[in-house]
Structure 1
Amino acid sequence: MQDWWRGAVTYQVYPRSFQDSDGDGVGDLPGITRRLPYLADLGVEAVWLSPFFRSPMKDMGYDVSDYCDVDPVFGTLADFDALVARAHDLGLKIIIDQVLSHTSDQHPAFAESRATRVNPKADWYVWADPRHDGSPPSNWLSVFGGSAWAWDARRKQYYLHNFLTSQPDLNYHNREVQDWALDTLRFWLRRGVDGFRFDTVNYFFHDPLFRDNPADYRVKAEAEGNPYGMQYHLFDKNQPENLAWMERIRGVLDEFGAASVGEMGESHHAIRMMGEYTAPGRLHQCYSFELMGYDYSAAFFRDRVEGFFKGAPDGWPMWAFSNHDVVRHVTRWAKHGVSQDALAKQAGALLLAFEGSVCLWQGEELGQTDTPLALEELTDPQGIAFWPEPVGRDNTRTPMVWDGSAHGGFTTGTPWLPVKAEQAARHVEGQLGAQGSVLEAYRAMLAFRKASALRDGRTRFLDLGEPLLGFQRGDGAGAILCLFNLSPVTRTVTVQGVGEVTGPSVSALLTEDRLTLGPNGVAFLTVTDSAPGAVTVAD
Structure 2
Amino acid sequence: MTQNLNWWKGGIIYQIYPRSFMDSNGDGIGDLVGITSKLEYVASLGVDAIWLSPIFTSPMKDFGYDVSDYCDIDAMFGTLSDFKALIDRAHELNLKVMIDQVISHSSDQHPWFEESRQDKLNPKADWYVWSDPKPDGSPPNNWLSIFGGSAWKWDSRRLQYYLHNFLESQPDMNFHCPDVRKAHLDNMRFWLEHGVDGFRLDTVNFYFHSLGLEDNPAVPEGEPKTLGAPEDNPYTYQRHVYDISRPENLDFLKELRLLMNEFPGSTTVGEIGDDFPLKRMAQYTSGGDKLHMAYTFDFLNKFHSPDYIRDVLANMQNIVGDGWPCWALSNHDVVRSCTRWGENEDPKAYPLIAMALILSLRGSVCLYQGEELGLPEAEVPFDRLQDPYAIPLWPVSKGRDGCRTPMVWNNTYHGGFSTVEPWLPVDDRHLALSVAEQEADPSALLHKIRQLIHWRQKQPALVNGEFEQADVSNHDLVALIRSYDGQRVLVVLNMTGQTQAAELPMNISQPLEGHGFSSSVDGKRLILPAYQAYYSVLSE
- Does the alignment reach a TM-score above 0.5? yes
Distance 2:487 2:28 in 1: 48
Q: Are 2:472 and 1:461 equivalent residues in the alignment?
A: no
**In 2, are the aligned partners of 1:225 and 1:390 still within 8 Å (CA)?**
no
Pick which of 152-161 and 271-280 moved more.
271-280
Counterpart residue type for residue 208 of structure 1 = L
CA apart distance, 1:224: 4.1
Describe the SS at the equivalent of 1:151: strand
Distance 1:435 1:140 in 2: 54
Q: Which residue of 1 aligns with 2:278?
A: 271
Q: Which residue of 1 aligns with 2:34?
A: 31
Q: Which residue of 2 aligns with 1:535?
A: none
Q: Which residue of 1 aligns with 2:317?
A: 309
Distance 1:203 1:343 in 2: 35
Distance 1:329 1:252 in 2: 35
Q: What TM-score do you get using the length of structure 1 for normalisation?
A: 0.94
CA apart distance, 1:389: 2.6
Counterpart residue type for residue 484 of structure 1 = L
Q: Which residue of 2 aligns with 1:487?
A: 496
Distance 1:184 1:161 in 2: 22
Q: Are 2:364 and 1:361 equivalent residues in the alignment?
A: no
**In 2, are the aligned partners of 1:54 and 1:72 still within 8 Å (CA)?**
yes
Distance change >3 Å, CA 327–CA 123, structure 1 → 2? same
Instruction: Kindly report which structure 2 residues correspond to 1:112-127, keeping only aligned pairs within 5 A, or say none.
Output: 112-127=115-130
Pick which of 435-444 and 323-332 moved more.
435-444
Q: Which residue of 1 aligns with 2:105?
A: 102
Q: Which residue of 2 aligns with 1:522?
A: 533
CA apart distance, 1:501: 5.4
Distance change >3 Å, CA 391–CA 215, structure 1 → 2? farther
**In 2, are the aligned partners of 1:226 and 1:390 still within 8 Å (CA)?**
no
CA apart distance, 1:374: 2.0
Distance change >3 Å, CA 455–CA 433, structure 1 → 2? farther
Superimposed CA distance per residue, residues 442-474 of structure 1 (whole angstroms, 9 cap, x where no aligned partner): 111111111012111211211244321001112
Instruction: Give the counterpart of 1:425 among 427, 432, 447.
Output: 432
**In 2, are the aligned partners of 1:285 and 1:317 still within 8 Å (CA)?**
yes
Q: Which residue of 1 aligns with 2:507?
A: 497
Distance change >3 Å, CA 335–CA 74, structure 1 → 2? closer
**In 2, are the aligned partners of 1:112 and 1:121 still within 8 Å (CA)?**
yes
Figure out how many residues of one structure are paired with residues of the other and give that number.
Answer: 525
CA apart distance, 1:298: 2.2
Q: Which residue of 1 aligns with 2:234?
A: 227
Describe the SS at the equivalent of 1:67: strand
CA apart distance, 1:309: 3.4
Superimposed CA distance per residue, residues 332-371 of structure 1 (whole angstroms, 9 cap, x where no aligned partner): 112562x111111111111111111111011111111111
Distance 1:79 1:104 in 2: 24
Q: Which residue of 1 aligns with 2:202?
A: 199
Instruction: Give the counterpart of 2:140 among 137, 140, 161.
Output: 137
Q: Are 2:27 and 1:17 equivalent residues in the alignment?
A: no
CA apart distance, 1:122: 0.5
Instruction: Kindly report which structure 2 residues correspond to 1:284-299, keeping only aligned pairs within 5 A, or say none.
Output: 284-299=292-307
**In 1, are the aligned partners of 2:128 and 2:174 still within 8 Å (CA)?**
yes
CA apart distance, 1:255: 1.1
CA apart distance, 1:219: 5.5
Q: Are 2:260 and 1:253 equivalent residues in the alignment?
A: yes
**In 1, are the aligned partners of 2:448 and 2:516 still within 8 Å (CA)?**
no
Distance 1:41 1:493 in 2: 36
CA apart distance, 1:228: 1.0
Distance 1:503 1:515 in 2: 18
Instruction: Give the counterpart of 1:322 among 325, 330, 333.
Output: 330
Superimposed CA distance per residue, residues 387-420 of structure 1 (whole angstroms, 9 cap, x where no aligned partner): 2233311110000011112211000111000001
**In 2, are the aligned partners of 1:503 and 1:524 still within 8 Å (CA)?**
no
Distance 1:288 1:150 in 2: 31
CA apart distance, 1:160: 0.2
**In 1, are the aligned partners of 2:278 and 2:320 still within 8 Å (CA)?**
no
Distance 1:433 1:512 in 2: 39
Q: Are 2:290 and 1:282 equivalent residues in the alignment?
A: yes
**In 2, are the aligned partners of 1:13 and 1:362 still within 8 Å (CA)?**
yes
Distance 2:8 2:518 in 1: 32
Counterpart residue type for residue 299 of structure 2 = L
Instruction: Kindly report which structure 2 residues correspond to 1:50-89, keeping only aligned pairs within 5 A, or say none.
Output: 50-89=53-92
CA apart distance, 1:22: 0.4
Q: Are 2:8 and 1:5 equivalent residues in the alignment?
A: yes
Describe the SS at the equivalent of 1:435: coil
**In 2, are the aligned partners of 1:365 and 1:442 still within 8 Å (CA)?**
yes
Q: Which residue of 1 aligns with 2:382?
A: 375
Describe the SS at the equivalent of 1:132: coil
Distance 2:11 2:485 in 1: 22
Distance 2:65 2:169 in 1: 11
**In 2, are the aligned partners of 1:226 and 1:386 still within 8 Å (CA)?**
no
**In 2, are the aligned partners of 1:125 and 1:169 still within 8 Å (CA)?**
yes
Counterpart residue type for residue 467 of structure 1 = D
Q: Which residue of 2 aligns with 1:536?
A: none
CA apart distance, 1:269: 1.4
Q: Which residue of 1 aligns with 2:393?
A: 386
Describe the SS at the equivalent of 1:48: strand
Q: Are 2:352 and 1:345 equivalent residues in the alignment?
A: yes
**In 2, are the aligned partners of 1:500 and 1:510 still within 8 Å (CA)?**
no
Pick which of 93-102 and 435-444 moved more.
435-444
Distance 1:451 1:306 in 2: 26
Describe the SS at the equivalent of 1:145: coil
Distance 2:51 2:484 in 1: 32
Pick which of 408-417 and 371-380 moved more.
371-380
Pick which of 62-71 and 211-220 moved more.
211-220
Counterpart residue type for residue 392 of structure 1 = G
Distance 1:30 1:263 in 2: 27
**In 2, are the aligned partners of 1:336 and 1:488 still within 8 Å (CA)?**
no
Superimposed CA distance per residue, residues 269-307 of structure 1 (whole angstroms, 9 cap, x where no aligned partner): 111211110122000000131221111122322332343
Q: What TM-score do you get using the length of structure 2 for normalisation?
A: 0.94
CA apart distance, 1:507: 4.3
Distance change >3 Å, CA 335–CA 54, structure 1 → 2? closer
Instruction: Kindly report which structure 2 residues correspond to 1:152-191, keeping only aligned pairs within 5 A, or say none.
Output: 152-191=155-194
CA apart distance, 1:475: 5.2
Distance 1:120 1:36 in 2: 43
Q: Which residue of 2 aligns with 1:470?
A: 479
Counterpart residue type for residue 515 of structure 1 = L
- Identity, % of aligned positions: 48
**In 2, are the aligned partners of 1:213 and 1:234 still within 8 Å (CA)?**
yes
Pick which of 342-351 and 11-20 moved more.
342-351
Describe the SS at the equivalent of 2:171: coil
Superimposed CA distance per residue, residues 118-177 of structure 1 (whole angstroms, 9 cap, x where no aligned partner): 100100000001111111101111111111100000111000000000000000000010
Describe the SS at the equivalent of 1:388: coil
RMSD of aligned residue pairs (Cα, Å): 1.6
Counterpart residue type for residue 170 of structure 1 = M
